[in-house]
Amino acid sequence: MMPDIGFVNGQFMPLADAVVSVEDRGFQFGDGVYEVIRTYGGRPFHLNAHLARLERSAKAIDLPCPLSPAQWAERVAEGIRLAGYRECKVYLQLTRGPAPRDHIFPTAVHPTVVMTVRELHPLSDGLRSGVSAITLPDFRWGRCDIKSIGLLANVLARQRAKDAGAFEAIFIRDGEVTEGAVSNVMIVRRGVLATSPEGERILSGVTRSLVLELARKEGLAVQERPVSEAELRGADEVFLTGTTVEVLPVNRIDGIAIGSGRPGPVVTLLAARFRNLTV
Ligand code: PLP
> Digits of tens for pLDDT over the chain (279 positions)?
668 999 999 999 999 999 999 999 999 999 999 999 999 999 999 999 999 999 999 999 999 999 999 999 999 999 999 999 999 999 999 999 999 999 999 999 999 999 999 999 999 999 999 999 999 999 999 999 999 999 999 999 999 999 999 999 999 999 999 999 999 999 999 999 999 999 999 999 999 999 999 999 999 999 999 999 999 999 999 999 999 999 999 999 999 999 999 999 999 999 999 999 999
Instruction: Report the atom number in ligand 1 closest to the C-alpha of 244.
Output: 8
Alpha carbons 133 and 147: distance in angstroms, whole number: 22
The DSSP code for 168 is E
Cα 51 to middle of ligand 1, angstroms: 14
Helices first, then strands: H and E counts in the chain: 8, 16
Among 135, 10, 24, 157, smallest CA distance to 72 is for 10
Q: Going from the N-terminus, what domains does the chain have, and what CATH number goes with each?
A: 5-119 (3.30.470.10), 125-277 (3.20.10.10)
Whether 267 lines ligand 1, by a CB cut-off of 6 Å, is no
Ligand 1 contact, 179 CB (< 6 A)? yes
Pure H helices in the chain: 25-29, 47-60, 69-83, 125-128, 152-163, 206-217, 229-233, 265-277
Question: How far is it, in rounded angstroms, from Cα 262 to Cα 183?
Answer: 19
* DSSP strands (E only) in 184-253: 184-189, 192-195, 221-224, 227-228, 237-242, 246-253
